[in-house]
Amino acid sequence: MAGLNKILLIGNAGRDAELRYLSTGTPQCQFSLAVNNRRKNQQTGEWEDQTEWFNIVVWGDTAERVSQYITKGKQLFIEGRVQTRSWEDDQGQKHYRTEVIAQTLQLLGGPRDQPAGDDWGTGGSSRSRFAARGDVDEPGFGRPRGGSIPREDVDVDDLPFE
What DSSP assignment string belongs to 128-159? Answer: EEEE--TTS--TT--PPPSSPPP-----GGGS
Distances (CA, A) of 12 to 32, 41, 44, 54, 55: 8, 23, 28, 10, 12
Answer positive or negative: Cα dihedral of 2, 95, 34, 107: negative
**Once rounded to an integer, what is the mean pLDDT over residues 125-152?**
45
Higher-scoring residue by pLDDT: 29, 114? 29
Give me the half-sphere count of Cα atoms (radius 13 Å) on the Cβ side of residue 61: 9
Q: Which residue ranges form the domains of the chain, and what is each CATH number?
A: 7-38+47-116+123-132 (2.40.50.140)
Beta bridge mates, 12: 34, 75
Which region among 30-39, 54-63, 96-105, 152-161 has the lowest average model confidence (pLDDT)?
Answer: 152-161
Q: What share of the chain is helix, strand, coil (3-state, %, to 5)?
A: 10, 45, 50
pTM over 0.75: no
Three-state DSSP class for 54? strand
Distance CA 53, CA 33 (A): 6
Q: What is the DSSP letter of 102?
A: E
Q: What are the tens digits of pLDDT across the range 71-90? A: 999 999 999 999 999 999 99
Instruction: Read off the pLDDT of each residue in 53-80 and give the average, rounded to a whole number.
Output: 93
